[in-house]
Chains A and B, each alone.
Chain A
């Protein structure tokens, strides 16, 4: 495992921020770290980035206990723009590169590469304060990946971005991931999770409540829902009692199957009575639905 979090607990005064959290992250994948506000995501990220120390538990990075030397292999981009407003873009990137232990020449080489890639050459001498939110996010993103980290932690990277800039950042994340970077992606926006992440870790009230592949989790929480399309209008009365009608249109129907019948049996029955079926597909729950369902379940 590339990152192994073992039984991490952290208490702040009266609040238990993390309670015995364990999970593991495989190298080269994109993970979504999900959870409502106060779930403990930021505390967890701060423990991985060594801003905080856990009260108990251990973190292993690439097989070794997490140490200071690993910080140079981690890139973290917080939701809020962490930029010096009065600094010029070039100076800012140079400063961050120096803090990442690059020599002046190495820093220049990397900065040149990324400013060309993100097409921001003309902004190099502009102050951060003069840039739009999208532009600032691009600068922030470059500052985060300048040192080509093995683990990239992104907190709401698309927040406040227009669709074009979102795509630019998204493509960059995929490219980094294709080149071997593991990504831990903290977000509330579930549409991004489904699109980007292969795996998720769901947290609530300082605890991990769910972990696994997106497809497996969807299967785990599926409700036996199917949509069947017909070539002409149909009558509801033709369906057997084991089937619960969820939604009905002129030429389609959404049904929930009981445990006494499966989709093959149902389709056979429908075909036998001559129903003109043109399409069938299973409706899996979205990550958003699973998220809401799980969080509500715990809070109840």
Chain B
């Protein structure tokens, strides 16, 4: 048992001291940071100033376009007597585009044209078409003697206040879904990355025959357990560094590009005051929701499900690693281990939509899928008993899986030059050696 700490220490240090580990650990957050900066810079540069002329023969769109100016887009409503043909010849001297609205039948509005020397971006085009549709719609409603203000009011979404267990809930669903999905996806990725690392480590000890020496000093069970725990700690360490670095880089970018980000948000929000107010409200609700999530619960659950989910799968990968003699065997033997992980991510996308369904419940209890699926459910504040039961099952299953894997491992690791199939693994499981 005393040996376990040395094995864990070796597995941990031999990996974190590698140059490749340092590179990946530092480069991933840097890459993400650069990606963020790149996105901001592209967004800033792509939203150059535009001035658009509006030649309106109907005179009905004046108010709309005069109030439509944005930080980067200015609309110039033309009131002169020049014809559209004259304007078409010269508009490029002062404007990027020219919108021509002829006399139209409001119930069948055809003939509105936009002239420009290059295509408008999606955002600008949406602003223009929304404005045109809005005016046409109101005009039609007025012609039919409807109360436009009333209809506009009726079209607003009716807000529902969620009260769960006498506690007011705010704006959680969309944010919970997103948060759960990210957490589940991260665990899914880590199961693969670190599980494969265990498999390769075991396989390397077998092919270099070092296992033959180690097995005379330490019981194979401790060798396997030490490797699983050691690499698991590498995973936690790496994820920890990533979390800190990504948070730090994000904060730094936030501070460095505060002005630009605020400009971008202004540009992207619709120039309508009421809608802007709605956006601000949504952001506030999201922040409030984030605080009320019980971040500690999510964080600790993530550590638990990450580690024990990893142990559960890493034990299987270790057993496979001990059985393979060359790389060609790896694919066929790892398939049954990887299928449940992939299935978990498929189930997760269903569970995020319906976190309280029976499928969600059972998928978060079965240890093959619980690390991914339960992590996606936790932000929805599921019952504590469900989470505790799921954690208990995963814990017991991980210990059980380590035991089962060690039965295969102790024989597989010393078996050389034989192509192993599942039939052999099953025999090894029960064999007395």
Closest to A86 in B: B14
Question: Which one of B177-185, B205-213, B242-250, B279-287 contacts A?
Answer: B205-213
Closest to A76 in B: B216
Contact with B along A221-252 (1 / 0, CB 8 A): 00000000000000000000000000000000
**Alpha-carbon distance A256/B6, docked complex (angstroms):** 63
Is the C-beta of B432 less than 8 angstroms from some C-beta in chain A? Answer: yes
A residues in contact with B217, CB < 8 Å: 71, 96, 99-100
**Alpha-carbon distance A147/B217, docked complex (angstroms):** 11
The B contact surface, by secondary structure, is helix
Given A50, A74, A82, A101, which contacts B210 in the complex, CB threshold below 8 Å? Answer: A82
Q: Are A76 and B213 in contact (CB under 8 A)?
A: yes
Is the C-beta of A142 less than 8 angstroms from some C-beta in chain B? Answer: no
Q: Are A87 and B14 in contact (CB under 8 A)?
A: yes
Q: Are A82 and B208 in contact (CB under 8 A)?
A: yes
B residues in contact with A82, CB < 8 Å: 208-214
Given A74, A81, A83, A140, which contacts B216 in the complex, CB threshold below 8 Å? Answer: A74
In chain A, positions 70-107 with a C-beta closer than 8 Å to chain B are 71, 74, 76-78, 80-87, 95-96, 98-101
Closest to B207 in A: A80
**Alpha-carbon distance A76/B215, docked complex (angstroms):** 10
Is the C-beta of A182 less than 8 angstroms from some C-beta in chain B? Answer: no
**Alpha-carbon distance A96/B218, docked complex (angstroms):** 11
- Which residue, A50, A51, A87, has most C-beta atoms of chain B within 10 A? A51
**Alpha-carbon distance A96/B214, docked complex (angstroms):** 8
Taking the closest CB of chain A, its distance from the CB of B14, in whole angstroms, is: 7
Q: Are A13 and B10 in contact (CB under 8 A)?
A: no
A residues in contact with B218, CB < 8 Å: 99
Given A46, A84, A96, which contacts B414 in the complex, CB threshold below 8 Å? Answer: A46
Given A81, A99, A140, A143, which contacts B6 in the complex, CB threshold below 8 Å? Answer: A99
Given A46, A81, A87, A144, which contacts B209 in the complex, CB threshold below 8 Å? Answer: A81
A residues in contact with B59, CB < 8 Å: none
Closest to A79 in B: B209
Q: Are A78 and B214 in contact (CB under 8 A)?
A: no
In chain A, positions 148-172 with a C-beta closer than 8 Å to chain B are none
Taking the closest CB of chain B, its distance from the CB of A291, in whole angstroms, is: 24
Q: Are B14 and A78 in contact (CB under 8 A)?
A: no
Is the C-beta of A113 less than 8 angstroms from some C-beta in chain B? Answer: no
A residues in contact with B211, CB < 8 Å: 82
Q: Are A95 and B6 in contact (CB under 8 A)?
A: yes
Contact with A along B1-40 (1 / 0, CB 8 A): 0110011001000100010000000000000000000000
Q: Are A81 and B427 in contact (CB under 8 A)?
A: no
The A contact surface, by secondary structure, is loop
Closest to A13 in B: B427
A residues in contact with B216, CB < 8 Å: 49-51, 71, 74, 76
B residues in contact with A143, CB < 8 Å: 213
Closest to B7 in A: A99
A residues in contact with B432, CB < 8 Å: 53, 55
Taking the closest CB of chain B, its distance from the CB of A292, in whole angstroms, is: 25
Taking the closest CB of chain B, its distance from the CB of A150, in whole angstroms, is: 14
Q: Are A84 and B212 in contact (CB under 8 A)?
A: no
Q: Are A84 and B6 in contact (CB under 8 A)?
A: no
Is the C-beta of B433 less than 8 angstroms from some C-beta in chain A? Answer: yes
**Known interface pairs A49-B216, A95-B6, A99-B3; A81-B208 also in contact (CB < 8 Å):** yes
A residues in contact with B208, CB < 8 Å: 80-85
Taking the closest CB of chain A, its distance from the CB of B412, in whole angstroms, is: 13
Q: Are B213 and A51 in contact (CB under 8 A)?
A: no
In chain B, positions 195-243 with a C-beta closer than 8 Å to chain A are 208-218, 220
- Which residue, B3, B210, B213, has most C-beta atoms of chain A within 10 A? B213
Q: Are B3 and A51 in contact (CB under 8 A)?
A: no
18 additional contacts (CB under 8 A) given A51-B212, A81-B209, A84-B210: A13-B427, A49-B215, A53-B432, A71-B217, A74-B216, A76-B213, A77-B213, A78-B209, A78-B212, A82-B213, A82-B214, A86-B14, A95-B6, A96-B213, A98-B3, A99-B214, A99-B217, A144-B213
6 contacts between A and B (CB under 8 A): A53-B433, A78-B209, A81-B208, A82-B208, A82-B213, A95-B6
Interface residues of B (CB under 8 A from A): 2-3, 6-7, 10, 14, 18, 208-218, 220, 414, 427, 432-433
